Amino acid sequence: SLINFARGPIVVEQDLRTALDATHLQHAVLDVFAVEPLPPDSWQWTHPAVTVLPHCSAPTDKESAAQIVAGNVKRYREQGLLPAGVNRQQAY
């Protein structure tokens, strides 16, 4: 698997797609891309082995973040609901 939170062009996106399609990599979590915002027709949006993150960062308060994560886990376990993800209309 690959997690890319880096900045700058360190992942060759076509090579990543080839590795995922050939199952040399099981999954990729991506927060940065060669073109941003990620265009709506980019393969990363629909590839089953890719998770696109919203590309936002800020200082994190551990206590409030833990409460948010715990609440999300609880809602998922009790109701099967996940928090809102990427807004495809805004490409983030």
55 catalytically annotated: yes
Q: With contact defined as beta carbons under 8 Å apart, do 25 and 49 qualify?
A: yes
17 catalytically annotated: no
Options 47, 55, 75, 88, the catalytic residue: 55
Taking phi over 0 as left and psi of -120 to 50 as alpha, with beta for the rest, 23 belongs to left
Residues identified as active-site: 7, 55
